[in-house]
Amino acid sequence: MDAIVLAGGTPKPGELLYPYTNGMPKAMLEICGKPMIQWVLDALSDSESVDNVIIVGLPQELSVHCSKKMYFVADHAGLTENLSAGAKKVAEISKQATHALFVSSDIPMVTGEMVDWIINATGGENKDMFYNVISREVMEKRFPNSCRTFIKFKDIKLCGSDLHVFSLRILLEGSKGMRKKLADARKSPLKQAALIGFGTLFLYIIGQLTLKRAERNISKNLKVTGKAVICPFAEAGMDIDKPRHMEIVTTGLQKRLENLK
């Protein structure tokens, strides 16, 4: 399966990460001696399930490397547009591809083992979306001070990861409105609940919505087939949005490097 690395975005003056990037793309934020996107590319290099790597939003002249063949796609100034641009490139270079792995460039603690687990978790099913989520228990055990945003279901509390498998069909043929809704709701529990209808939103508010029911209603309302995959790796959701996150990830990677000595 081809992997699409979403690397668009440059922090602006006044934003929390600007003092650390100083006008450089967020993906090039240095963590433990190398850009954080390079940690992600190292994981993709180690993966046995990834074929090609498409980087969306990062100029080719910036120095990054990967053992897999890399392709660069220009930033299309928006998550929805970048998703589509990456999907188009996959369809161009891998004629038989039906799905692609989407990876954020700001999860430097991800490993090749985690990437393989997420791809293999699709089980060869032909669904439009495999949306990876992480339980609060797993996230807070691994990163107790991460302060992630959790969606409260009746049976479990979850946060989103930053690796998902999508079909090329919904990104190339699906409506722009649907893609925008998914992108806008990425970090808002209420928007995510609203995607699946008023009745489901009410169940969410009173704490009676189960994950399985949400999964069914999303598929029905968006006219896609989807599956929520509960990921056992907190690192897949430990993205860097704030200096606090950078400190947590830096400490974790330093420990990893020490263990390799």
pLDDT tens digits, one per residue of 2-33: 999 999 889 999 999 999 998 999 999 999 99
pLDDT tens, residue by residue, 68-107: 999 999 988 777 888 889 999 999 999 999 999 999 999 9
Q: What angle do CA 139, 38, 60 make, to 5 degrees?
A: 135
Whole-prediction pTM value?
A: 0.86
d(CA 163, CA 25): 20
**Boundaries of every domain in the chain:** 2-260
Distance CA 225, CA 216 (A): 8
**Domain with residues 2-260, CATH architecture:** Alpha-Beta Complex (3.90)
| Residue carrying structure tokens 């996150």 | 245
CA atoms of 90 and 100, how far apart (whole Å) = 8
Give dist(CA 203, CA 78) in Å, integer: 32
Residue in 176, 182, 141 with CA at minimum distance from that of residue 160 = 182
Q: Is the pLDDT of residue 246 over 90?
A: yes
What digits encode the pLDDT tens for the residues 194-217?
A: 554 444 444 444 455 677 776 776
User: In angstroms, rounded to a whole number, what is the distance separating the alpha carbons of residues 145 and 259?
Assistant: 22
